[in-house]
Structures are given as C-alpha cells and as structure tokens.
Amino acid sequence: MPLEEVERRLREAYDRDFHFEEGRVLGSMCSKPEDIAVKYHALFSEANLGNRGLYPGTAELEEEIIGDISELMHLKGGWGQFVGGGTEGNITAMWIARNLSEKKKILAPESAHFSMKKATDLLAMELVDIPLDNEYRMDVDALEREMDGDVAAVMAVAGSTELGQVDPIKEISEVAGDVFLHVDAAFGGMVLPFLEDLGRWSGDWDFRVNGVDSLSVDLHKMGMSTVPSGILLLKERGYVDSISVESPYLTTKRNIGLAGTRPSGAVAGAYAVVKSMGRKGYRDVVKRCMENTEYLVGKMQDIGFEPVIKPIMNVVAFKTDRAEKIRKEMDKMGWKISTVRRPKAIRMVVMPYVTRKVIDEFTEALDGLGYA
C-alpha cells in the first residue's frame, strides 16, 4: 500500500479513537502520558530488558526507578521489576505465593480486580471471596474465619477499582501472619503517598506493614507514563527464584517473570516523567485531582446523587438503581462512564485531564436525563 494511503488510514483510525484531552472519558484509570514519556519511550523503542545484557543503560534506568518507587512505598532492599501492568503484577505475585507455599487457596476481597479471577484460573488455584464491611473494605473478621492451612496468599487492595477504597492492610497482615500478603496498589500506589504528603489521608498500606510481601503499582495510571509500565515490588529478592527459568541463548542465564521480550521503552518513558515531575509534581497533580473530585461530588449532590462513600482518592461512585441505563444514555451523548456492581452505582475517575469545565458539562448532561 502506498505510504500516503497507510498514513491516511492511521490518521482516520486515530480520529475514531477516544482521546483523553477531549475530556469526555470519565471511566478510565489510564491517563494521557506526558509528552516527555512518549518521546523517550520512542527513542528507546528497541530496548528489550528480556535480553538484559544488550541494554545496560536501560537496565540502570530500571534500577533507579525501581529504587525511587521502592522508597515511595517504604521498601528497603527487596526487589522490583517493570511488568505489563496490574494484571501481570497480580498474576506474578500469586505465582510466587503458590510456588513458595505449594498451596492453592487465595483469599481476596470481593472488591478485588477481575484479574484475580484470571490469575486463579491461569495458576490452577482457588479463589475465596472475602465479603466487605459497611465501608466496602475487606472484612477482617470474615478473613480470619477463612484462614486455614491451605491458604497460599492473601491479597488486599489499596485503591479499589470501583470505589478507590483502601483495605485495612495492617489488620489484614496480623490475621495473615506468615502467609504471603500481596497488595494491589495499581491505581492507589501513585495516589496515596501524595495524599499523605498533603495531610489528606493517613494509614498503613505499604511495606511499612511488616507482613506485606509484594505490591504492584502502575505508572501508566496516576504515574502519567506510557503503557506498559506496571511495577512489581517484592520484599525479598529470593522470592523470584521460585519463578525463574533457565534462559539459554540470551545474555542472562535465568529469565525472571512472565514476559519474555519486555517492551522497555516504557522504562525510559517512566524515567523521564518520574524524574522530571518529582514528588512535588505528583503531589500537585493529586491535589488538583482531589479538588476536582470534591467539586464533582458537590455538583452531583446538587442534582440529587449521593456518593457511595466519601471518596478517599479520585475515584468516586454515586448510588442509583438505574446505573446501566444512565451509562448507556450518557454513552450515546459521547460520555464514557462505568458502573459498579454492588451497590448499584455509576462511577467516575477524576484523572488529571478531567477539568471543572468538563465536570460542569457532564453534570448538566446527566441532570438532563432526569434520573436522579
């Protein structure tokens, strides 16, 4: 096909996609990556840390960012690696837990991301849903009742997909004891440290809790970097031995983790954005997102919708029996929101590209439906 025709078709496809800068996507946890992340991702597009020996420069960038994020999550020593995202992070953590324990049961809150179902099926494990308390956090008493000798792992959520809720991780850790404890902080990991800086929230959710063995966080969500820049952190370097395989014909003797080829342009992209934003940059972004979240809550209350919980982070859901109907009708008008299963609710994520102007237009359109 002639080059002009190829490029014309690509431009047309691009125009058909939704774009964050248009602001009408209120149901996505991904953000528009910063320009500098896109630029360096592209420069490093051939980097493949799956064959690490060829990319000593990229490998150092990875180590430095893993160090920075470890510090942010209060992990000293330990081990980390870029992964494809929260799903791969959760799968890998459960894989390690299963291989270390030779047991099969996973205890996870009902609010866990659906990737836990995927991990369970893939790994031939067994998922036990732990009910939630009145605040939609994992019920620690219910967890305690399910603890037995067959448990390979307990997982907890720091920033649930549906409500942005944080499980009581310290109490969970006390119940879990020596059992492997994984924290899914895919979204919350790049929000909570800055909420703490801002004095807006406090709690124990990361490696400050001694029993936490692994934690996953995505830099392509609130980290504002390019896909795929998930990070998996492990308390002990030795854990990875349980899932590494021999890798002949590569520049390293053993290959660690799920992926073979690793798209490591994302490492350079993450380096560019994390280092240039700095802690203050992220704090400012989180501050603005939280102020806009509160603005959204006020506007929604004005038109008759109440939040399911007072939002901790920039994820907020509003109770309504007509959630699916509202989602569909808003979709027809070009607004993308999502729904929550229990309690029935519509859900929005106030990402950095969601401005007050967008919130005004959104709530006006929603009010026009007359479903409050």
Region 226-255 residues binding its own copies, contact defined as CB under 8 A = 226-228, 230, 243, 245-251, 255
Asked if residue 30 binds its own copies (CB under 8 A), the reply is yes
- Determine the Cα angle at 114 with ends 112 and 117, to 5°: 100
Stretch that binds its own copies, among 135-143, 196-204, 205-213, 219-227 (CB under 8 A): 219-227
Among 238, 341, 356, 364, binds its own copies (CB under 8 A): 341
Q: Which residues of 330-340 are buried (b: 16+ CB within 10 A; e: fewer)?
A: beeeebebbbb
Q: Considering the complex, state which of residue 99 and residue 301 has its C-beta at the smaller distance from its own copies.
A: 99
In the chain the first and final C-alpha atoms are separated, in Å, by: 52
Minimum separation from the CB atom of position 177 to its own copies (A) = 25
Q: Considering the complex, state which of residue 203 and residue 281 has its C-beta at the smaller distance from its own copies.
A: 281
Minimum separation from the CB atom of position 155 to its own copies (A) = 15
Q: Considering the complex, state which of residue 131 and residue 260 has its C-beta at the smaller distance from its own copies.
A: 260
Q: How many CB atoms lie within 10 A of CB 9?
A: 11
Minimum separation from the CB atom of position 209 to its own copies (A) = 25
HEC secondary structure over the chain: CCHHHHHHHHHHHHHHCCCHHHCCECCCCCCCCCHHHHHHHHHCCCCEHHHHHHCHHHHHHHHHHHHHHHHHCCCCCCEEEEECCHHHHHHHHHHHHHHHHCCCEEEEECCCCCHHHHHHHHCCCEEEEECECCCCCECHHHHHHHCCCCEEEEEEEECCCCCCCECCHHHHHHHHCCCEEEEECCCHHHCHHHHHHCCCCCCCCCCCCCCCCEEEEECCCCCCCCCCCEEEEECCHHHHHHHEEECCCCCCCEEECCCCCCECHHHHHHHHHHHHHHHHHHHHHHHHHHHHHHHHHHHHHHCCCCECCCCCCCEEEEECCCHHHHHHHHHHCCCECEEECCCCEEEEECCCCCCHHHHHHHHHHHHHHCCC
Minimum separation from the CB atom of position 27 to its own copies (A) = 7
Among 70, 75, 79, 87, binds its own copies (CB under 8 A): 87
Among 69, 73, 79, 85, binds its own copies (CB under 8 A): 85
Asked if residue 12 binds its own copies (CB under 8 A), the reply is yes
Q: Which of residues 33-52 bind its own copies (CB under 8 A)?
A: 33, 36, 38-48, 50-51
Asked if residue 102 binds its own copies (CB under 8 A), the reply is no
Asked if residue 332 binds its own copies (CB under 8 A), the reply is no
Q: Which of residues 124-183 bind its own copies (CB under 8 A)?
A: 124, 161-162
Minimum separation from the CB atom of position 227 to its own copies (A) = 4
Q: How far is 90 from 164, CA to CA, in rounded Å?
A: 17
Among 209, 232, 259, 290, binds its own copies (CB under 8 A): 259
Among 128, 140, 147, 258, binds its own copies (CB under 8 A): 258
Asked if residue 184 binds its own copies (CB under 8 A), the reply is no
Where does residue 78 fall: left (phi above 0), alpha (psi -120 to 50 degrees), or beta otherwise?
left
Minimum separation from the CB atom of position 230 to its own copies (A) = 8
Number of residues that bind its own copies (CB under 8 A): 99
Asked if residue 223 binds its own copies (CB under 8 A), the reply is no
Asked if residue 265 binds its own copies (CB under 8 A), the reply is yes
Minimum separation from the CB atom of position 20 to its own copies (A) = 6
Q: Which of residues 111-130 bind its own copies (CB under 8 A)?
A: 113-115, 117-118, 121-124
Q: Which of residues 269-288 bind its own copies (CB under 8 A)?
A: 271-272, 275-276, 278
Asked if residue 333 binds its own copies (CB under 8 A), the reply is no
